[in-house]
Structure 1
Amino acid sequence: MTLSSPKKKSNKSGPDRAAYEAELEQLQIELVAMQQWAVATGARILVIFEGRDAAGKGGAIKRIIQYLNPRSARVVALAVPTEREKGQWYFQRYLERLPAAGEIVLMDRSWYNRAGVEHVLGYCTPEEYERFLRQVPSVERLLVEDGIMLFKYWFSVSDDEQQKRFKSRLKDPMRRWKLSETDLHSITRWEEYSRAKDAMFKATDIPEAPWWTVESDDKKSARLNMISHLLRQIPYEKVEPKKLTLPERPESDDYERPARELYKYVPDRAAALD
C-alpha cells in the first residue's frame, strides 16, 4: 500500500492536538496492516533510530510499537556490553537481534554507538573507530542483499530545544531515568558530537541503506513525519484477516463457583477515587 505524500507547508509549532491524534491513529492503523503483511510474506524489517540525546527517538518508537503484535515486533535497546561481549566481533551482539521472517525490529540506538558516544567519550580506540567506519557499509550491504529491509533515521534537535528537554526531565519523576551523566556530555561536547555525526554520515550514507534525517524540535511533527515516511518505504499490501464468527455462549451447566472468601483480591484503590 502506498501512502500519499503530505503537502508541504510551514508549521513550526506543529499540528494541534486533535489533528495530531487523528493522523497518528491513521498511521497506527497502517502500521498494523504493514505488520500483518510482513507476517504473511515473511518480510524482515529493521529500523535503526539514532540522533541527539532527547531528540525524540523513544517517543517515536513508543507510537510505532504501541498496537503491534509483540510476538513479531520488538524493540532492541542494548545495555553496556558485558566482558564476554567486549571480546566478540563488535557487530556480533547486534546481529543476534536481527529480525527473522515476519518480524519487525526497532533498534533504539544500534551499532552506531561506536561512531558517536564511544568515539567522542573515548570508550573505543581510534583504531576500533576507524575499523568500524570501514566495516559498516559492508555489513549493511550484506543485510540488504540477504533481503532485510533496513531503514536508518537520525533525529535532529537544536541545542536550545535539547536543553529545555533536559531541564524538564530533571523535574519529572517518570522521566528522570532518561537523564544520565553520559547525556550531559551532549551539552558540553555538542560540537564534538556534530563532527562525529558528520563523519558517520560521510562514511555510512550508502545507497543501499541511506540515512534519513528527522527534524524533531516539534515532537508531534517528528513522529508523524517519520512514521509516514517509513510506511511509504515498505511495499506492503492489505492482508484480509481470516473471517471469524463469534459462537453463541452455551447455557450454564451445573458448575458452581467457589466462595469468594477462598481467594485473595487486590484492594479496590480505584473505589477511593470516587
Structure 2
Amino acid sequence: MNEQNANLDGMDWLKAELEDAFDEDFELELSEPALSMELRKIYKKRHPETLERATYFRSLLKLQAELIKLQDWVQATGEKIAVIFEGRDAAGKGGVIKRITQRLNPRVCRVVALSKPTERERTQWYFQRYVPHLPSGGEIVLFDRSWYNRSGVERVMGFATPEQVEQFFQDVPEFERMLVRSGIRLIKYWFSITDEEQQLRFLMRIHDPLKQWKLSPMDLQSRVRWEDYTKAKEATFARTNIPESPWFIVEANDKKRARLNCIHHLLDQIPYSEVPHEPISLPDRRFDPNYEREDLPPELYVPERY
C-alpha cells in the first residue's frame, strides 16, 4: 500500500513538472498584452489561420525530443554543425532559434548573435570575427544573422562599399567550401515574409512595451528600404547558393508553421541516430547522524512575495 502511495505521489510530482513545462511554453506563446484591440482585429482578419495550440505543442514537443537525440549524437560523434538564420527583420528567426535551444544543453548548442563590428574588427579580414564562433567537435552553433550582413544590411545601408560587397560575393563561396571541407555541416535558412506581414509585426512591436526593444533604427529603415533589401536578397541567392551550402527558404508568414517546418527540415539534413545510454539510477543519499544543519541568517533569504 505504501509503495502504491509512493507511486501515486511520484505521478503527481511528474504531472506538476509537466504542467510547469507547459506553463513555460505558454509564456512564450502569450499574445501581445498591450496590443490595441483594433490592431488585433486587423491582424486576425488579414493573417491566415494558424495551427491549433494543442496541435502545435504536440508537434513541437516531438521535434524537440528529436533535437535531444541529435544533440546526443553530435556529442557522441564529435560532429560540427553550423546553422545560419537570415531574413528580414521580424521574420521569426529568433522564435525558431528559441524553440530549438529551449530543451538543449547550452554547452552543446549555443547561439551567436554578434553586435556591430568594433573599430578594430572593421580593419580585419571580413570573416575573421566570425571564425572564433564556429563549432568545435561535438557542438551545434546557431547564427542569428551571420557574415551575410555584408550583402544585406551593410550593402543596403551603405556601411560597405560596392567594392567590398563584390569582394564578399567572390570570397564567400570559397569560405563556405573551406568550412565544409573542414568537416562542418553548414546549413543556411532564409525566413521569408511578405511586406504586409512585416508591417503588421512591426506595428505589434510598437504597441507592445515588452517587445519595443526589438525595434532598432535599422529595423525601421528596413521598412523604408523594402525594395532595396529585396534586391540584396536576390543578389545573395544568385551569388551564394552553392551545392556545398545551398539556401533553404522558410515561408514564415505563419510563425508556428515556420518553426515546425524549419526544425523538421533541419533534422532531415543530418543523418543522426539515437545514442544508447546506460540506465540511470539515483544513488542512496549518505546520512551523517552527528551532523546538525545550522540556521542561516534571515537576511540571506529572498523575500517570499508570491
Tell me by how many angstroms 1:241 deviates.
Answer: 2.2
Residue number among 189, 205, 208 corresponding to 1:169 in the alignment: 205
Mean alpha-carbon deviation: is it higher for 252-261 or for 81-90? 252-261
User: Letter of the aligned partner of 2:76 in structure 1?
Assistant: A
CA distance in 2, matches of 1:257, 1:171: 52
- Superposed CA deviations along residues 162-202 of structure 1, whole A, max 9, x for unmatched, are 11111111122221111011001121111110011000000
CA distance in 2, matches of 1:252, 1:18: 48
Bigger relative contact order, structure 1 or 2 (CA pairs below 8 A, ≥6 apart) = 1
**Identity between Structure 1 and Structure 2 (%):** 58
Residue number among 175, 181, 185 corresponding to 2:221 in the alignment: 185
Tell me by how many angstroms 1:256 deviates.
Answer: 1.2
Q: TM-score, normalised by structure 1?
A: 0.92
CA distance in 1, matches of 2:275, 2:209: 42
Tell me by how many angstroms 1:254 deviates.
Answer: 1.6
Equivalent position of 2:285 in the other structure: 249
What runs of 5+ residues in structure 1 fail to find an aligned partner?
A: 1-11
CA distance in 2, matches of 1:251, 1:187: 65
Equivalent position of 2:97 in the other structure: 61
Q: Report runs of 4+ in structure 1 exceeding 4 Å deviation.
A: none
CA distance in 2, matches of 1:191, 1:18: 38
Tell me by how many angstroms 1:100 deviates.
Answer: 0.0
CA distance in 1, matches of 2:173, 2:66: 31
* Aligned partner of residue 96 in structure 1, secondary structure: helix
In our comparison, the structure showing a higher alpha carbon Rg is: 2
The CA RMSD over aligned residues, in Å, is 1.3
- The answer to whether the aligner puts 1:51 opposite 2:87 as a matched pair is yes
Q: TM-score, normalised by structure 2?
A: 0.83
Equivalent position of 2:193 in the other structure: 157
Tell me by how many angstroms 1:226 deviates.
Answer: 0.2
Equivalent position of 2:34 in the other structure: none
Equivalent position of 1:70 in the other structure: 106
CA distance in 2, matches of 1:75, 1:253: 47
Equivalent position of 1:268 in the other structure: 304
Mean alpha-carbon deviation: is it higher for 209-218 or for 162-171? 162-171
Mean alpha-carbon deviation: is it higher for 252-261 or for 44-53? 252-261
What runs of 5+ residues in structure 2 fail to find an aligned partner?
A: 1-47
- The answer to whether the aligner puts 1:237 opposite 2:273 as a matched pair is yes
CA distance in 2, matches of 1:97, 1:121: 25
* Aligned partner of residue 75 in structure 1, secondary structure: strand
Equivalent position of 1:88 in the other structure: 124
* Aligned partner of residue 300 in structure 2, secondary structure: coil
Tell me by how many angstroms 1:225 deviates.
Answer: 0.2
Number of residues of Structure 1 aligned to a counterpart in Structure 2: 260
Residue number among 90, 109, 117 corresponding to 2:153 in the alignment: 117
Mean alpha-carbon deviation: is it higher for 247-256 or for 121-130? 247-256
CA distance in 1, matches of 2:63, 2:268: 11
- The answer to whether the aligner puts 1:214 opposite 2:250 as a matched pair is yes
CA distance in 1, matches of 2:170, 2:291: 69
**Higher normalized helix content (fraction of residues):** 2
Tell me by how many angstroms 1:249 deviates.
Answer: 2.5
CA distance in 2, matches of 1:174, 1:229: 31
